[in-house]
Structure 1
């Protein structure tokens, strides 16, 4: 296959999600880039051609035609020679597909024009038929809108009549994509000797069904599909519904949106394990090598258990007759919830006992639970438009907590994953450039705007807001409210009312879903006052137009003498009577059930920190981690003295639990990024070695000790890695990620090249991922440059791994400048959807002005905002932080 490829729009969302946090922290190298401004010679943004005719309003299809069913014939030419003349747009493309489709639709309003979607297809032979009268209707013209709408327009000689039933037949052909979108090709090695094999698969969410066949490509326009796949003998063909193998026809599907339509055609992929769940056939597919090694057994064994759990929880059976899950060599994103045929990256489905880490097992269980939840939320119940995508992704994320806890209670995901999602959402939503969970539909129109919605706000904030609602109305009532609900707000509100609840669900939820951001609740225990305002890292005049927001806030509070109480902060007035005025401490947001940060008066902060140092278990585990996170982030927002934030870590010397340590280490990484090239770094590193190495968590201990240069730690990882280089790998699977990284960081060319060879040869997906990340840890500049160049070659770094590989390099202090220069130099070649940089605001702004950023637009402007915040914060706090670290060392 050709190596000169471009990354797809589908990967764009991944770049946006992966890179913003890396961009925002990298400000310490700003000055060195000022001189480079003159070297930038960007290509001007592309000129959008004028439209052939005025499109329907706001880039949406008219509602006058309603699709009912599609009859689609697809022939992917993976190996066969095409003899007929086909207009190919790319001279390097050798793989094509041909086909035809008939869409049957109902007309609700008289029209002589058919609008539907088609993209990058050569469409011909249009035939329109009146199904009621069995008459053909002449087509006068057919053309594309040359704009972002992707409209294919079919003009008719006579009008379609209201309440009539019609069909449109079209022949089409197109290129099989090498960019992991639409109908795309992937390759893998199989056999003895190794032989390159190909597979073709579809990956069409959110707006790429139109690249496979002409269709009404909007989520609300659901239909039934009849699909015929033409493929050679001895290959596997899969689809959403059962396959009639003699005719190579996929049977009728249930009614569903285009976005979860899926087909796959592959050599050698075999079913590892077939089980029955009631009368439903569950099959798990992968490469023969993975099947023989039993790498799919874990995924196959938990799938039926999760389906059982969801059927009981949702009160409705799984509606398909079969469920296929397949591990693909190439896919972006990590998985796709196609109804009846769920596709995964191999790392999301394959697990090798004794080699894969415990964390990898957690990821597999969580990912399967997420995709299976979509079989109800997203597939059975579908949002009307993409501004409501949070209902799909937020529910699937939230429900996966419970499903994984049911099948693997030892994973403790209700604490670890909840806190992770909470912190992810907090970070993203603290910028003025964030967006509401549920923005107005007119704000989400183009494909780029739709792709931008697949971000941490949609996934993590969506899940956390739902968790907050479940806590308020009671989990039992919440589960009753979501049962078989196609109208969430009305059905849920009815369930709450029937149960005797007094919570006005719609009123409460609107403040959290329709407004941008989240509040910080400030409590003053000396006078009982409590008030809220929007939390922002950068509380400037530019953002004040959204500062006067108000949320319906459920506040769970406990004190040093009382249990948990629930109260509502419903009005903007200060609530004088809410808090007791005795001298004990108050803790708000107990168990982190609310989506808000909490600040206190200094006396209450001191009392809480004293409690943590004397008897920390009086404070719930999740709050011990959250107090640290709140303190550090309040300090970043200039709402709390930074010395007090640093004091919040002192109790960790005796803390054994993982969550508080994870919170502290993650927040201290921000300090490292801000001060690694200043005089603060030395005292900070010395104190971290003295006080911040946990005694009860090996993974965090090794990471902190080695990254700060503790000689004993460096020697240990070097010895363990050397033993592997000379003999066998004795490193425990749970420790491999951190040890590989530190060994490469403190090693040289030999260690890096050994890790690279192991990456190339390893058949274990978890091991390959750990090695790919470890390769970015080197401090040797030329090795990092080599690694960046490898991302241009899909035979070295698979296309789906390019974004995360560059992001890993950008998180390495030695790689920050290299990653930015590489992205800037290869923007149009690689993808207009990445911004991994430590450059100054001026460069980012010029970059945003000069390039067509596409679905990276929001990510780049978030980077600009965060960089401005960081510059100001470092200047104001450097001296205070230096003094604190020096004082702690001398005491």
Structure 2
């Protein structure tokens, strides 16, 4: 992407369309707001906020918004704020209406805000972010009132007020200049829509005892605080905040700060409450939160920090918040020790929301979650549900320091914020559940996951230039697997080669220096270097020199070890080696690679590969000795070997696989399959890594194998390879199925180990998937018993796979039963299991009906719409239906879910991942062309990745189909 500011044709057209839509909404809101103001002339309690004297919620008139963009060389037509004004403090008062206006049907909120800011250079222009807000015309005839803090300074008058919708500004032109080093107050009075778009200040809806309940809640990250009140909405523009909420007496109000006072007020005869909150610490706007609901809570206090879990009253009454409450305290204490820094707030609220687009959000002092990420019921929730809760709580609490206390200066460094939390969430969860051995799972969940994306020529570096990340949709696009999982992977590698002690030492001084401020990623490198220097640790270069090779260029290397010559070399790993890499690399795709390795199960001294090729005579082998590199997969790279060493490793797997530790057995499988896709080794060699699996009982190697074999399903489940492949995989998995049948005493007990419970699911899932009759009889019997008795006999761990396989084997009767159970589920994680399983039916008409349901938020919540479409696309019967549906409805889907959605990349990748023909490639290219004016939001990169992946799939099938078919046939001969 080019540097600097520009508006493409597509963005310009979208801006005009959205501007027109915003204008229509503003006019409608203006009517409602005028009605509300007229009703409130006789307010008994003034609702003026801040030191500037302004009107109460009284009558208003509004000018129409100006939506035509100004010339692009003007400050208001640039997406970044000028540096002339710096906010210090906000007073914000908001009144959300939890019932719709009877005339317009709109839910609204009204508000007042005063921001105190410093002028750092003389200017006659105020730009402050504002999106979809309607402003009251004040007594000065403008939409804002400006005053100077110093009585000896006269503030200039506001000459004109207008909105700039494309760049999302309230533009105030002054008749004189604000003076450098002077402080000013800006007061505004506004209305917004409490929409169901999952962004900014929005509404969430749920049913309780047959009644429809509304929650007013927030999601500000990355650029939606401006939808709630006018603000300087950039992460470096930190300030303190005083929040006041007006709300109905039966509701509870929450915000970042602790409640200071809650008192009854009467406004125009309405009995309401006014809740004032303590002033926040200095913080970024994207971390703000305010919520009004009828939720209840449970709590405890840990070292003077009040910890509360909020949720729907029936969920709290059922004890579904207890697990989260029990784990929050220990995780919070762990991070206090890890950072050597006390939690700086008096309380830590966590709240489970019925409608929430992200998994969770680290708002300082008021963390918001999807219900599936916070609520747990031992009778209904699975082992994986419990793990998800522990890791997400740890992820969000990690942010309380790394992200909230010290915040990225701009979104181009998002990877450091999210990658760090994605790494240390495993450390926090390990403290909460020490018996799980959960730290190993980062290899499957993050390292292997992101390898698949970062091996594409359309990948991108971790860190981007500031100038290249300007527009809100560009920022949203950064919330991807690269930022989260690659960020976690390279930070884990860094921690390993520095040692955890040195890593933590540097981290602590970094947090201390930049507390309540902002930083860039090189600031962390500097503090880690200080720790390296203080301990006398020897590295092949500075921390910055080493890490820049991983941060500033996309992709990763494959390290090839020749155990005959001792040569160790590296090259850029690409799934399609013929793809054209157009992204420039400052290091010519050379990395400084830390290699931990072993020779025939004996650990060797670490080796640094600093060039594209070098010789290490210690890696030469003779006789039966073999070399295995990247122990514990702590390095962010793949490993290839000479043929002789591969043969020795495969022999070790087949004769005594436990000679190779479990993580590296998973690595060998994953590396081999991906090296084969990249045409570095033959595909049949990769398939040979699965031959030992009939003797494997550990979860990680099985999960690695099944994840890679899923690619074979995607490529071949519509071809003649499918039958022989099923025969082979059935032969391999039946011993695992029988093992768990015995271990669980004919499926009546639960395996004790965390990973054993996961692998039991793999055994049943894969056995049924390959048509093992005993498995299919088992799951159909369980499901039928549930249908007949209305008492669910299926253990929570097994429900997802049992539901899916039973629905796939059944018809409309089974589907309708599951749909009814989904609608009546009282725990979100159980509803999630059913929602995914409903996509498993083999009846096309049921899948088409289900697709239509995704557009009805009364059937499928907006937060779940795109993932439901992906579930359907995962089904070979539903894939083409889902693709046609997305193409046909793209404009609607994009406009309904684009504003608050980071999920478009998952949607586009999900519905196209089976593509492997020329016809599908042309459809995908046509889809891109047809919707260039509508846009793809956070899925823009995913479209290019899907095209690249499709081309690679086509080549792979052409080169491998016959060999793969022959191999499966040979391995299944009697």
Check conservation: 2:131, 2:165, Cα contact below 8 A. no
Quote the offset at 1:64 in angstroms: 1.5
**1:141 alignment partner, one of 157, 160, 166:** 160
Greater Cα offset, 870-879 or 609-618: 609-618
Give the secondary structure class of the aligned counterpart of 2:474: helix
CA distance in 2, matches of 1:556, 1:230: 59
1:98 maps to 2:110: yes
Q: How far does the alpha carbon of each residue in 1:650-672 deviate from its partner, in whole angstroms, 9 at most, with x for none?
A: 11111111100111111111101
- In the alignment, what sits opposite 2:927? 847
Check conservation: 2:577, 2:679, Cα contact below 8 A. no
From the superposition, tell whether residues 352 and 576 of structure 1 become closer, same or farther in structure 2 (CA, over 3 Å): closer
- In the alignment, what sits opposite 1:351? 376
Report how many aligned residue pairs link the two structures. 837
Quote the offset at 1:299 in angstroms: 0.4
Give the secondary structure class of the aligned counterpart of 2:597: strand
Check conservation: 1:45, 1:850, Cα contact below 8 A. no
Per chain length, whose mean CA-contact separation is higher, i.e. which structure has more relative contact order (CA < 8 Å, sep 6+)?
Answer: 1
Check conservation: 1:52, 1:144, Cα contact below 8 A. no
CA distance in 2, matches of 1:432, 1:58: 30
1:228 maps to 2:224: no
- In the alignment, what sits opposite 1:21? none
Check conservation: 1:201, 1:265, Cα contact below 8 A. yes
Quote the offset at 1:59 in angstroms: 2.3
Report matched runs for 1:498-577 at 5 Å: 498-503=534-539, 504-540=542-578, 542-543=580-581, 548-560=588-600, 562-575=602-615, 577=617
Quote the offset at 1:248 in angstroms: 1.6
- In the alignment, what sits opposite 2:723? 682
CA distance in 2, matches of 1:142, 1:501: 59
CA distance in 2, matches of 1:737, 1:553: 40
TM-score by length of structure 1 reads 0.92
TM-score by length of structure 2 reads 0.84
CA distance in 1, matches of 2:11, 2:243: 43
1:52 maps to 2:79: no
CA distance in 2, matches of 1:60, 1:545: 25
From the superposition, tell whether residues 92 and 642 of structure 1 become closer, same or farther in structure 2 (CA, over 3 Å): farther
1:431 maps to 2:443: no
1:297 maps to 2:322: yes
1:698 maps to 2:735: no
1:747 maps to 2:810: yes
Check conservation: 2:101, 2:107, Cα contact below 8 A. no
From the superposition, tell whether residues 672 and 127 of structure 1 become closer, same or farther in structure 2 (CA, over 3 Å): same
1:73 maps to 2:105: no
- In the alignment, what sits opposite 2:444? 419
Greater Cα offset, 246-255 or 218-227: 246-255
**1:179 alignment partner, one of 197, 209, 213:** 197
**1:315 alignment partner, one of 340, 360, 370:** 340
CA distance in 2, matches of 1:377, 1:561: 38
From the superposition, tell whether residues 81 and 769 of structure 1 become closer, same or farther in structure 2 (CA, over 3 Å): closer
Q: How far does the alpha carbon of each residue in 1:99-126 deviate from its partner, in whole angstroms, 9 at most, with x for none?
A: 1111111111111111121111112431
Quote the offset at 1:181 in angstroms: 0.9
Quote the offset at 1:643 in angstroms: 0.6
Check conservation: 1:209, 1:215, Cα contact below 8 A. yes
Q: How far does the alpha carbon of each residue in 1:782-819 deviate from its partner, in whole angstroms, 9 at most, with x for none?
A: 00011111111111111111111111101000000010
- In the alignment, what sits opposite 1:625? 666
Give the secondary structure class of the aligned counterpart of 1:318: coil
CA distance in 2, matches of 1:810, 1:452: 22
**1:162 alignment partner, one of 164, 173, 180:** 180
Name structure 1 gaps, 5 residues minimum: 1-41, 83-90
Quote the offset at 1:543 in angstroms: 1.6
Name structure 2 gaps, 5 residues minimum: 1-9, 17-66, 137-142, 264-273, 515-522, 741-758, 899-903
From the superposition, tell whether residues 45 and 705 of structure 1 become closer, same or farther in structure 2 (CA, over 3 Å): farther
Quote the offset at 1:477 in angstroms: 1.2
Check conservation: 1:315, 1:484, Cα contact below 8 A. no
**2:296 alignment partner, one of 270, 278, 284:** 270
1:279 maps to 2:304: yes
CA distance in 1, matches of 2:309, 2:840: 35
CA distance in 2, matches of 1:129, 1:862: 52
Quote the offset at 1:540 in angstroms: 2.4
Report matched runs for 1:586-625 at 5 Å: 586-625=627-666
* Root-mean-square deviation (Å): 1.9
CA distance in 1, matches of 2:13, 2:147: 43
CA distance in 1, matches of 2:303, 2:12: 59
CA distance in 1, matches of 2:327, 2:621: 52
- In the alignment, what sits opposite 1:864? 947
Give the secondary structure class of the aligned counterpart of 1:750: helix
Report matched runs for 1:423-822 at 5 Å: 423-485=448-510, 486=514, 487-503=523-539, 504-540=542-578, 542-543=580-581, 548-560=588-600, 562-575=602-615, 577=617, 579-583=619-623, 584-693=625-734, 694=736, 695-696=739-740, 697-727=759-789, 728-822=791-885
CA distance in 1, matches of 2:11, 2:876: 29
